[in-house]
Structure 1
């Protein structure tokens, strides 16, 4: 026996209906351990096809679906906060609208949270834009132990956000998701590390992570650079990083946002492979 848990799934107008159907069914129909509910947050208006897919999934789901329909697009952080407020259970699993959870995911992660951990993530396997995503892809293994997570968090996010399962009360205790475009997850995880949350990652890739044509473009540009600089300012203000670490992060992470997309892709994949071999 294990505790009931919620799945938190945000959706916005840029999501594809076919990807959403596959993502939703991967956390409901395919799971060895099914959730007690799925909380779907519609972040602002969506097109007719996506609205139809949401209605279909809500009506046909074998587990209860709680809809949180926001009238305006508020961004991921505030959408997730609205969704967390609607979750009925202490344990919450994140799911993105275009990724695919492996059937073993919740059967592996939820018992670890029930057993005492506050946050449990996993490795991911990247795949392209094909719907089923069965072609083997690049596996990204995050830091596994609490010590490795704490060390990594001074330079990079220690979790793959779409893989995490956590205790809602612990997330709330550090202030929840705060608005910081494209960096809200890293900022949350850093505060959780500072708070002393009990954390671990599973080396098994329990989520297939969809990497579209614009994935590397989104990792750069002026908007992300501004968020990067604000993140580093907050980390330093809170004493989470030293002055030297902050300077390194601005130079390396900030510089990465400014290089051409082709070079950014190469640097990113090289860094992942170095982490795996190290």
Structure 2
């Protein structure tokens, strides 16, 4: 049976108006199966040009848009939880404010959700400045058992590509304020709740990577977040003690190596667990 879809799109002060417009229009206007509602979460105050672009998109949207305006910047996890509360429909698609959805994204993902799945992601391709110049592909496991297995080492979903059931996400506590790892923690909680999981191998989203992308994947803040999420996984009994040690050594070590080595390690060590 056809289901209705809410699109959840958070925006914060660091986003670019033109990128937001491209992300919005690719996920709404250009879709062969459009969402039935868009929820934009403005995570705290934004510069005037970005605020004007948000108002323009709300005004000109071909589908209803609900704007959630948070007084202060609360971070991605709490902002998404606030947006989920405003979604009218149980099926919710995620989108970031600087990525691009391919026109058939929801036409591919929605029938999978309607077949009884609880969360479906997809592959994605990375680009720097020109969306037509692809610099990398991020593949995902497609077998449900493999998705669950690989989740014990690396996130099994590309967050900007996922479509999931709002009721189940809220039922496991939502994203919560778990900075930099909120999505990974959510996938673990969903898997522990026996969510029916799926991935589409085909890339359905173009992911923008700017200068410093690999630098942002390392450093002490990421190391602290990595340690925190791995400890939480162990508390939830999502991982074994052996897996905890492995993850802290491999994933934690990855956060500390120089950027050049991190780029190589991502492709040779981290990324293969996502393919």
Deviation at 1:273, TM superposition (A): 6.5
What's the CA shift string for 1:20-46, capped at 9, x where partnerless? Answer: 010000011110000011100000000
Tell me what 2:114 maps to: 114
CA distance in 1, matches of 2:64, 2:176: 28
CA distance in 1, matches of 2:215, 2:65: 34
Q: Is the 8 A contact 2:12 2:43 kept in 1?
A: yes
CA distance in 1, matches of 2:212, 2:21: 21
Tell me what 1:201 maps to: 199
Q: Is the 8 A contact 1:140 1:272 kept in 2?
A: no
Q: Matches of residues 1-278 of structure 1 in structure 2 within 5 Å? A: 2-130=2-130, 133-271=131-269, 274=272
| C-alpha spacing 1:275/1:152, structure 2 compared with 1 (3 Å) | closer
After the TM superposition, which segments of 4 or more aligned residues of structure 1 sit over 2 Å from their partners? 269-276
CA distance in 1, matches of 2:95, 2:183: 13
What's the CA shift string for 1:109-167, capped at 9, x where partnerless? Answer: 0111111000000000011133xx01233111111111001100100101000000001
TM-score (norm 1): 0.96
CA distance in 1, matches of 2:248, 2:190: 22
What's the CA shift string for 1:1-36, capped at 9, x where partnerless? Answer: 721110000000011111101000001111000001
CA distance in 1, matches of 2:80, 2:208: 20
RMSD, matched Cα: 1.3
SS at structure 1 position matched to 2:29: coil
Unpaired segments of 5 or more residues in structure 2? none
CA distance in 2, matches of 1:160, 1:3: 23
CA distance in 2, matches of 1:148, 1:179: 28
SS at structure 1 position matched to 2:135: coil
Deviation at 1:271, TM superposition (A): 3.6
CA distance in 2, matches of 1:12, 1:57: 15
CA distance in 2, matches of 1:166, 1:270: 30
Unpaired segments of 5 or more residues in structure 1? none
Range 215-224 or range 76-85, more displaced = 215-224
TM-score (norm 2): 0.97
